[in-house]
Amino acid sequence: MTDESVHYQPPPDSSRLTGRVAIVTGAGSRSSDIGNGRAAAILLARRGAQVLLLDANLAAAQQTLRMIESENGVALALQTDVTQPDQCQSAVRRAVEAWGRVDILVNNVGITGPAGTAVEVDLDDWDQALRVNLTSMMLMAKHAIPEMRKRQAGAIVNIASVAGLMGGTTSLLYPTTKGAIVNMTRAMAAHHGTEGIRVNCVAPGMVYTPMVAGRMTPELRETRRMRSLLQTEGSGWDVGHAVAYLASDEARWVTGVILPVDAGATAGTAKMPSLRNDFKRAPD
C-alpha cells in the first residue's frame, strides 16, 4: 500500500467542480426540453464548472446558456461543427482564452444515422454518420488532451448507447458507432491514464429525450418503458447525473468504465417465463 493511498482524504464535497472548465458537445437540444447534452451542461455548471457549450445550432446552445445563467452559472455558447478539425481546435482554444484551461470534455454529439443493413445502407450517408458519431470524439480529444496534460489531470466522458452493448437494432450504423465508442473509451483510458486523464463512457438506455420524442407513438413509448427492470422512463437528467459524477473527483479512481444508464435493461428483462419448479429436498 502506497503512502498516497494511506493518507488520501477526500475533500468535504468531492462532487464540486469549482474552478474547472468543461466543454460539452451537442450542448443544445432539438426543442426547449432537456436532452442528454443540455442536462450534462446544466449539471456541470451547477457543480461550479465553467462550461463551453458547443452545438451546430447556435440558437440551441444559447438556450442552454440562458438556462445556466438563470441559475447564476457561467458558460459560453459557440457554434461548432465537430466533424471539422479546425473548428474542434478553435473550440478548445476558445475555452482556454476564456478561462485558461480545459479539465473536462463531454463528447455527446450523436445522430441516429442512415437506416438499413449492410446490404441496404447508402455508403455516403454511412461515411458522414461515422464522422459525426465517432470521428468527432477523436477530434475533440485530440485538441483537449494537450490542455489536460498541462495539469496532469482531466476527465473525458464519451456518450455511447446500450445499442453498442447488445444487438437488436434494425439499422447497422447506429449500434456500430456506439460499439466503437465503447472500445475507443477503453483504448483512450489505457493511453492516457498515466497522464492523470480519466476516460469513461455513459451508455444511455431508452431515455425519452427531444431526439426521439417527435418520432414516437404513445404505444412505442410505453413498450420502451416496460423493457427495463425498473419499468420507469428515464430522461436526459439521468444521463447528465452520470456524466457529472464521472467528471468529478468522486470518480477519481474510475477510468475505462462503461456505465449503462438504462433502468437495468442490459442486466435482464423484467418478466421471463419460467418452468415449473421441480426441486425436491434430498432425504436425510
- Cα 54 to Cα 10: distance, rounded to the nearest angstrom: 32
Is residue 174 among the annotated active site residues? yes
Q: Do residues 213 and 31 touch, judged by C-beta distance below 8 A?
A: yes
Query: DSSP states of 129-145 as a string?
Result: HHIIIIIHHHHHHHHHH
Nearest to 49 by CA among 154, 166, 162: 154
The strand ranges marked E within the chain are 21-25, 50-55, 74-79, 104-107, 154-159, 197-204, 258-261
Q: Do residues 45 and 70 touch, judged by C-beta distance below 8 A?
A: no
Distances (CA, A) of 168 to 108, 163, 229, 273: 23, 8, 18, 20
From the list 8, 174, 208, 245, the catalytic residue is 174
Catalytic residue positions, numbered: 174
